[in-house]
A and B are shown apart, each in its own frame.
Chain A
Amino acid sequence: MDINLKVKKNLQIRAFYLFFIIASIQLGVGIIGAPKLIYLESLQDSWISILIAFIYIVAVVITMFFILNQYENADIYGIQVDIFGKWIGKFLGTIYIVHFGIALLSVLITYIEVIRVYIFPMMSNFVMGFLLLCLVVYGVLGGLRVIVGVCTVFFLLSHWIVFLLIQPSTRMDITHLQPMFVSPISDLLSGAHISAYTFMGFEILFLVYPFIQNKKKAKLPALLATGWTTLFLLLITIITIGYFSYQQIERREWVLLSLIKVQNFTFVERFDYIVVAEWMMIIVPNMLLLMWGITYGMKRLYKVPQKVTLYSVAVIMSFACIYFDEHYRIQSTIDASANYGFWLVYVYPFLLLPIVLIKKKWIKKKEEKSNAK
């Protein structure tokens, strides 16, 4: 297995697309329910939790860049094999693939659940999952460039949702956010920990990095993207806290949709229906990138053709949808994805960095020695 990748020129993407890639994979189903979960932990100081999470994420992203820059043009699959050897490296790579798989499943079934709760209570999970996976298969068949295109276009086409928050924001009660700074540090930290699931996804950077044309400019768009999602979550959380009371938030599963319901015009009401449908444009890039991560990982680690993995994962997923039709099963999948992902995404890079640095130094010393001889 090659550690460094040679990417053809027509497959490369410019660095600023990293903004769209990371922003669209971070914004997903999590953000619909995240404000409530964070609020239950750190109450009116939720915004501090989100900022803490943001600072932590910036640190993680910079660490990831450090690791990646130690190599010429490598992705995480190659780096792990280089450092831990063939067997452990491939095992760790497989953990990444499984992580993407669980994340994909959790996104898929959560969205189907939202549709079933809001629009079609009798909708079959299989049909809905099949339709969504059709889109995913069709998109992934186009390759990374098309996936990035989907991210970009859907990002531009879905952000009008922000304007639906104007009406609720004018009816906010600012006293809900007061008094400030009352939650203890432990609550703030657990609030930040809760928001980890929503913010997850930027680990895709480990995979797409070799495809970037001008790597020197890659840091800014990546950090801007995390900043954008943080801003988005911050806005929603503050408006939620200002608009609803504690009891109201506690009773609702997806506060963002309840919030959007407020907006109405003379020709259209109940924007929550439209937003649930529109949310597909936010989900699809998410699933495309995760699916691409799986297929690409299988190709890198086990030399399985991407098409084979794509079709088989799609079939498995659409049948898995049938099983995940009860709320507690879905919730346990999300929890599993969040817990498992937390260690992989937020902790593992910090462990990997010193090992990479030590190995690089060791190799350098070895080379110097051999040169001296």
Chain B
Amino acid sequence: MKKTFTSKKGNIFPLKIDELDKILKARFETNPDLSFTTYEKNNKKIAVFFIAYQVESEKIDNFLLEPILMKNIEWTNHSILNEIPLNGGKKVETLEDILKDILIGAVFIYIEGEDSIIAYLLSKKEKRSLQQSETESLVLGPKIGFTESMVTNLNIVRWTIRSEDLVLEQYLIGKREPREVRLIYMKSIANEVDVNTMRQRLQELEIDVIDDASVLMQYIEDSSITIFPQFLTTELPDRFSYNINRGRLGILVENSPTAIITPTTFFSFFESTEDLYMRWNIGTFLRGLRYLSFFMSTFLTPLYVAAVTFHYEIIPTPLLINLGESRSSVPFPPILEALFLELMIELLRESGARLPTKVGQTIGIVGGVVVGTAAVEAGITSNVLIIFVALSALASFTTPNYLMGTTARIIRFPMILLGGFLGLIGIMFGACFLIIHLLRLTSLGRPYLSPLYPLVPKDFNKVLFRLPNEYQNERFRSYRPKDLIRFGKKKAKNKKDIDE
């Protein structure tokens, strides 16, 4: 080897086309898809190279090769850039840039003797069409979901938030395989400290590859030990824009349909944009239902286990007779029975998630109805417990965020153990531990249990319940947005007596 080009930085041009070919072949030795063609005209040589399936070959034929070869364009960088009817042409000088661009679908034209190379970005990207999100579904409101393509997602975001305030900062994260990450927020609303914290976390992240937005999220979260998600994930652009408009930050990652929203509180995992689309009183009811179901899915089975194992005095006599009858043929202690059934439900859920939809439904019916009934008839479990377990499993799926629903289901297992060994005291211990844990958590440095602590009563109407829209004229105080007021309050109506 005469020269080692691989490690050389800076301009590698001018050089002979043969040499260029050698360098590229050396780099793409194991890659048969590099198309490198040389053309010759009027004693001048020109080389065109690209990766075949990464580019739109029709465009290359029609708008690049045809003009260069057929028309009388002078073969210099200047005139080619001037006269070729394609946009986005640029001059590239270093090998690193060539390699970076060629992977994302650039076409390079090198005229022998010139001191730089021309690149056109003609990338072709296979993407799926816009679809409804499968993990989050809404009855009312926009149905469209994010896709894996960053361009499409940015396009959707720009269309849903048509404001000049919108900032989309670009980051490239990943040493070995840099991926585009966008930090999105409203300049005039989002808290600057939050933005800076997020920027710092993104910039300081050292990692080879980020596999997905959910993985990036785990790297930049406040606490990595806890079971609770500290950032919100969503596939719904309307949920995304709702949060951005309220002054939170959003993050989009290339090749991931999941958007990250931050900072969040424990309560924001129970918010659905549907609460907004419904009337406020119905929204309040639905939100209350979700909190209740989180409580149920965590504590219902453990409470049953505790009551049946230790504290049957708590259950009134008529109810106790029913319970006793259903449990009379069960040979196991309640804790084993409960763990067995909970495990069964988890198996059903997991298999349902892995199988294709049609088979999944069948399995659900077989597992739920057939195995459930058979288990009771065989005397392995009591039918009262089946009701409790099924209820708490149902309840865990009402959480609008899949991560939080999973968390609720997982917490249930230690709770069942505590309830089975220490009764109500054990469950109370678990609850106290859980609350202290939640109090210690932060999301982007903001308290996780806000507005309960720090106590912000003015935020209760956005978190715990909803009020008619004219009273919702402030943004979340807990997130300290730059601009607190959404719109001016209406003037107080004159009080009128009846029949005036």
List the interface of chain A (C-beta within 8 A of B).
14, 16-17, 115, 119-120, 128, 131-132, 134-135, 138-139, 141-142, 146, 148-150, 152-154, 156-157, 264-270, 273-274, 276-278, 280-281, 284
A-contacting 9-mer, from B12-20, B106-114, B139-147, B419-427? B419-427
Residues of A within 8 A of B435 (CB): 150, 153-154, 157
Contact call A267/B316, Cβ cutoff below 8 A: yes
Residues of A within 8 A of B313 (CB): 269-270, 273
Proximity string of chain B (218-241) to chain A, C-beta cutoff 8 Å, 1 when within and 0 when not: 000000000000000000000000
How far is it, in angstroms, between the C-alpha of A329 and the C-alpha of B142 when the chains are bound?
68
| B 298-341 contacts with A by CB, 8 A | 310-311, 313-316, 319
Residues of A within 8 A of B452 (CB): 152-153, 156
Q: How far is the CB of A19 from chain B (nearest CB, A)?
A: 10
Given A120-B425, A267-B319, A273-B314 in contact, is the A138-B433 Cβ separation under 8 Å? yes
Q: How far is the CB of A301 from chain B (nearest CB, A)?
A: 27
* Chain A CB within 8 A of B428 CB: yes
Q: Which of B311, B422, B439 contacts A273 (CB 8 A)?
A: B311
| B 440-484 contacts with A by CB, 8 A | 440, 447, 449, 452-455
Residues of A within 8 A of B315 (CB): 267-269
Contact call B425/A115, Cβ cutoff below 8 A: yes
Contact call B428/A150, Cβ cutoff below 8 A: no
Given A115-B425, A156-B452 in contact, is the A264-B316 Cβ separation under 8 Å? yes
* Chain A CB within 8 A of B347 CB: no
Residues of B within 8 A of A152 (CB): 452-453, 455
Contact call B453/A277, Cβ cutoff below 8 A: no
Q: How far is the CB of B446 from chain A (nearest CB, A)?
A: 12
Residues of B within 8 A of A280 (CB): 425, 428-429, 432
Contact call B428/A281, Cβ cutoff below 8 A: yes
Contact call A142/B436, Cβ cutoff below 8 A: yes
Q: Which of A119, A148, A265, A269 contacts B423 (CB 8 A)?
A: A119
Among B424, B436, B447, B449, find the residue whose CB has the most chain A CB atoms closer than 10 A.
B436
Residues of A within 8 A of B440 (CB): 138, 141-142, 146
Question: Taking CB as reference atom, which chain B residue is nearest A283?
Answer: B432
Supply 20 further A-B pairs (C-beta < 8 A) apart from A138-B437, A276-B425. Answer: A14-B454, A115-B425, A120-B310, A120-B423, A120-B425, A128-B425, A138-B433, A149-B439, A149-B454, A150-B435, A152-B453, A156-B452, A157-B435, A266-B319, A267-B316, A269-B315, A269-B316, A270-B313, A273-B313, A274-B314
Q: Which of B316, B424, B433 contacts A135 (CB 8 A)?
A: B433
Contact call B314/A150, Cβ cutoff below 8 A: no
Q: How far is the CB of A89 from chain B (nearest CB, A)?
A: 34
Q: How far is the CB of A224 from chain B (nearest CB, A)?
A: 15
How far is it, in angstroms, between the C-alpha of A141 and the C-alpha of B440 when the chains are bound?
9
Given A119-B310, A266-B316 in contact, is the A153-B429 Cβ separation under 8 Å? no
Contact call A149/B316, Cβ cutoff below 8 A: no
Contact call B316/A138, Cβ cutoff below 8 A: no
18 A–B contacts, CB within 8 A, in A order? A115-B425, A119-B423, A142-B436, A142-B439, A149-B449, A149-B454, A150-B435, A154-B435, A264-B316, A265-B316, A268-B314, A269-B315, A273-B313, A280-B428, A280-B432, A281-B428, A281-B431, A281-B432
How far is it, in angstroms, between the C-alpha of A157 and the C-alpha of B436 when the chains are bound?
13
How far is it, in angstroms, between the C-alpha of A277 and the C-alpha of B453 when the chains are bound?
23
How far is it, in angstroms, between the C-alpha of A277 and the C-alpha of B422 when the chains are bound?
11
Contact call B425/A268, Cβ cutoff below 8 A: no
Given A119-B311, A156-B452, A267-B319 in contact, is the A150-B424 Cβ separation under 8 Å? no
Q: How far is the CB of B467 from chain A (nearest CB, A)?
A: 20
Residues of A within 8 A of B429 (CB): 131-132, 135, 280
Question: Taking CB as reference atom, which chain B residue is nearest A271?
Answer: B314
How far is it, in angstroms, between the C-alpha of A331 and the C-alpha of B425 when the chains are bound?
23
Residues of A within 8 A of B314 (CB): 268-270, 273-274
Residues of B within 8 A of A278 (CB): 428
List of 9 A-B pairs having minimum Cβ-Cβ separation, nearest first? A277-B424, A149-B453, A149-B439, A277-B428, A142-B440, A280-B428, A270-B313, A269-B316, A139-B436
Question: Taking CB as reference atom, which chain A residue is nearest B433?
Answer: A135
How far is it, in angstroms, between the C-alpha of A287 and the C-alpha of B461 when the chains are bound?
33
Q: How far is the CB of B33 from chain A (nearest CB, A)?
A: 55
Q: How far is the CB of B488 from chain A (nearest CB, A)?
A: 28
How far is it, in angstroms, between the C-alpha of A134 and the C-alpha of B422 when the chains are bound?
15
Given A119-B311, A268-B315, A281-B428 in contact, is the A153-B423 Cβ separation under 8 Å? no
Contact call A153/B425, Cβ cutoff below 8 A: no
How far is it, in angstroms, between the C-alpha of A355 and the C-alpha of B432 when the chains are bound?
43
Residues of B within 8 A of A157 (CB): 435
Contact call A273/B424, Cβ cutoff below 8 A: yes
Q: Which of B319, B425, B432, B436 contacts A119 (CB 8 A)?
A: B425
Q: How far is the CB of A4 from chain B (nearest CB, A)?
A: 26
How far is it, in angstroms, between the C-alpha of A232 and the C-alpha of B126 when the chains are bound?
69
Among A150, A264, A265, find the residue whose CB has the most chain B CB atoms closer than 10 A.
A150
How far is it, in angstroms, between the C-alpha of A269 and the C-alpha of B315 when the chains are bound?
6
Question: Taking CB as reference atom, which chain B residue is nearest A275?
Answer: B424
Given A135-B433, A268-B316 in contact, is the A119-B424 Cβ separation under 8 Å? yes
How far is it, in angstroms, between the C-alpha of A325 and the C-alpha of B440 when the chains are bound?
33
How far is it, in angstroms, between the C-alpha of A322 and the C-alpha of B271 when the chains are bound?
47
Q: Which of A115, A266, A270, A284 contacts B432 (CB 8 A)?
A: A284
Residues of A within 8 A of B423 (CB): 119-120, 277
Q: Which of A128, A274, A281 contacts B424 (CB 8 A)?
A: A274
Contact call A138/B425, Cβ cutoff below 8 A: no
Among B422, B427, B432, B433, find the residue whose CB has the most chain A CB atoms closer than 10 A.
B432
Given A150-B439, A152-B455 in contact, is the A277-B427 Cβ separation under 8 Å? yes
Contact call B439/A153, Cβ cutoff below 8 A: yes
Residues of A within 8 A of B432 (CB): 135, 154, 280-281, 284
Q: How far is the CB of B437 from chain A (nearest CB, A)?
A: 8
Residues of A within 8 A of B447 (CB): 149
How far is it, in angstroms, between the C-alpha of A108 and the C-alpha of B481 when the chains are bound?
43
How far is it, in angstroms, between the C-alpha of A131 and the C-alpha of B154 when the chains are bound?
51
Residues of A within 8 A of B455 (CB): 16-17, 152
Question: Taking CB as reference atom, which chain A residue is nearest B319?
Answer: A267
Q: How far is the CB of A148 from chain B (nearest CB, A)?
A: 8
Residues of B within 8 A of A146 (CB): 436, 439-440
Among A14, A115, A153, A276, find the residue whose CB has the most chain B CB atoms closer than 10 A.
A153
Residues of B within 8 A of A17 (CB): 455
Q: How far is the CB of B191 from chain A (nearest CB, A)?
A: 15
Question: Taking CB as reference atom, which chain A residue is nearest B447?
Answer: A149
Question: Taking CB as reference atom, which chain B residue is nearest A269?
Answer: B316
How far is it, in angstroms, between the C-alpha of A78 and the C-alpha of B220 when the chains are bound?
41
Question: Taking CB as reference atom, which chain B residue is nearest A279?
Answer: B428
Question: Taking CB as reference atom, which chain B residue is nearest A143?
Answer: B440
How far is it, in angstroms, between the C-alpha of A284 and the C-alpha of B434 when the chains are bound?
13
How far is it, in angstroms, between the C-alpha of A16 and the C-alpha of B457 when the chains are bound?
13
How far is it, in angstroms, between the C-alpha of A17 and the C-alpha of B453 when the chains are bound?
10
Residues of A within 8 A of B453 (CB): 148-149, 152-153
Residues of A within 8 A of B436 (CB): 135, 138-139, 142, 146, 150, 284
Question: Taking CB as reference atom, which chain B residue is nearest A268?
Answer: B314
Question: Taking CB as reference atom, which chain B residue is nearest A281?
Answer: B432
How far is it, in angstroms, between the C-alpha of A134 and the C-alpha of B316 when the chains are bound?
34
Among B310, B447, B455, find the residue whose CB has the most chain A CB atoms closer than 10 A.
B455
Q: How far is the CB of B229 from chain A (nearest CB, A)?
A: 20
Question: Taking CB as reference atom, which chain A residue is nearest B450?
Answer: A149
Question: Taking CB as reference atom, which chain B residue is nearest A284?
Answer: B432
Residues of A within 8 A of B424 (CB): 119, 273-274, 276-277
Residues of A within 8 A of B319 (CB): 266-267
How far is it, in angstroms, between the C-alpha of A281 and the C-alpha of B158 when the chains are bound?
48
Q: How far is the CB of B415 from chain A (nearest CB, A)?
A: 13
